A = this chain, B = another copy of it.
Amino acid sequence: MEAKKIFLPESELPRTWYNIAADMPTPMEPPLHPGTGQPCGPEDLAPIFPMPLIEQEVSQERWIDIPDEVLEKYLIWRPTPLYRASGLEKFLDTPAKIYFKNEGVSPAGSHKPNTAVPQAYYNKISGTKRICTETGAGQWGSALSFCCSLFGLECKVYMVKVSYQQKPYRRMMMETWGGTCVPSPSTETNAGRSILAQNPDSPGSLGIAISEAVEDAITHEDTRYCLGSVLNHVCLHQSVIGLEAKEQMAMVGDYPDVVIGCHGGGSNFAGLGFPFVSDKANGKDVRILAAEPISCPTLTKGVYEFDYGDQAKMAPISKMYTLGHDFMPPGIHAGGLRYHGAAPLVSQLLDAGVIEAKAVGQVECFEAAVQFARCEGIIPAPESSHAIRAAFDEALQAKEEGKEKTILFNLSGHGHVDMASYDAYFSGGLENYEYPSEAIQESLAALPKVDF
């Protein structure tokens, strides 16, 4: 009997997060204030985030202790299993070995609680009573609601209206965990009301929802804002994925030639990949590959410039790969990969040539996801299917070249709440939306002028 699942004992759960800021090849660019264009200080961020998270955001310490209270909650589902995908290897008839880390076993069904737990915890100990956030398809909003319930915090989620209407299941999950979810634009904020006055039928956008959540946090007592991706402290918290995976690979005496994660804002990619980046800095020969949708090709067709984090220009200006804050990606089924920018840490590593990126089409992604489900039994989230597609391509290339290769990818979530996307795929209703280069040039024209 072949042990396909590589189980890490609870006693081996990492006790520290890995902070890649300590190992960056070039100095990091500071975020700029969206109003002044000058570097943000802690005092600029204090109305939005609690101090322990602001400290983590700028920390240069390589290892940061995970508090006991966070470890206790991680243990609800962590360590997550690592799998050898032997069924898939057989199907692809490849000399490559394929491993994947399954983050879909969390109660919210994705990797998002890895950062939602510490964000809720640090808010709790800082006196926050209520947390606001935005959510697109609902993965982040549901993960944060789950974690707020664990720490007894109120949770308010502004959900992009079109998703609120089309994807009711994740809204219902938020409510089950005690969160409140409203469609954005809402009548509860100035930002929402002003959009509704111009366009009562606005379908909403992530940019609008961010503006509403930030305004809510700033204007309510004991309320703070949380973000589920992009930021340094989010990448830090997600590093548990890669730290565990390295231990699990070592348990079977193996090490990856290529490490793959899907890429939207960057959090699950960074989570698996960054601990391997640190090995690379120490001389290991390992490729780290981000797989993004061709319909939102931030890393492969964007530019590395300063840009706003949101459409409404309320979030800090960061140096990052971006398609422009006005960029409006088409409604692909991987809702979690529709962000115009990329995590500054991921962007800087790509610019420095430390990591790679490729873009894949959603039809090929679903094709790979369905085959994966039939070989390995687990139905992937549409987002995760981008990592699977890239892993397929690596395995098929190994076959063509007759080379051995060890592939590791992140299965960032399960697809039980996304079955309608599979239905669209089976009924032939999915297309590959490749975003036209001219349109990207247009949205890039709106980048801020930065004197810094």
Interface set of A (CB-CB < 8 Å, partner B): 1-5, 7, 9-10, 68, 71-73, 75-77, 83, 87, 105, 107, 109, 146, 149-150, 168-169, 172-173, 175-178, 370, 373-379, 414-417, 419-420, 422-423, 426
Contacts and interface: CB of A to CB of B under 8 A. Distances in A.
A3 B7 contact: no
Contacts of A3: 10, 75
Given A68-B1, A76-B377, A416 B169 contact: yes
A9 B6 CA distance: 10
A178 B419 CA distance: 14
A173 B419 contact: yes
Given A1-B72, A9-B7, A177-B373, A420 B105 contact: no
A87 B149 CA distance: 11
B4 A75 contact: yes
A447 B312 CA distance: 70
16 contacts: A1-B71, A1-B75, A4-B75, A5-B10, A76-B376, A76-B377, A76-B378, A105-B105, A109-B416, A169-B420, A172-B422, A173-B416, A176-B370, A177-B373, A177-B379, A416-B417
B175 A422 contact: yes
B419 A169 contact: yes
Contacts of A109: 416
**Copies assembled:** 2
Closest 5 CB pairs of A and B: A172-B419, A107-B377, A169-B419, A149-B374, A416-B416
Residue among A2, A71, A83, A378 with the highest chain B CB neighbour number at 10 A:
A378
Nearest to A416: B416
A169 B173 CA distance: 16
A150 B1 contact: no
Given A5-B75, A5-B77, 19 more contacts: A1-B71, A4-B72, A5-B10, A5-B76, A7-B10, A9-B9, A76-B83, A76-B376, A105-B105, A107-B377, A149-B373, A149-B375, A168-B420, A172-B422, A176-B379, A176-B422, A177-B374, A178-B374, A416-B416
Contacts of A416: 109, 169, 173, 414, 416-417
A141 B370 CA distance: 17
A172 B150 CA distance: 32
A211 to B, nearest CB: 28
B176 A76 contact: no
A5 to B, nearest CB: 5
Nearest to A179: B374
Contacts of A378: 76, 107
Contacts of A4: 72, 75-76
Given A7-B10, A107-B378, A107-B379, A423 B72 contact: no
A373 B176 contact: yes
A153 B431 CA distance: 30
A199 to B, nearest CB: 28
Contacts of A376: 76
A329 B83 CA distance: 42
Given A172-B423, A416-B109, A2 B72 contact: yes
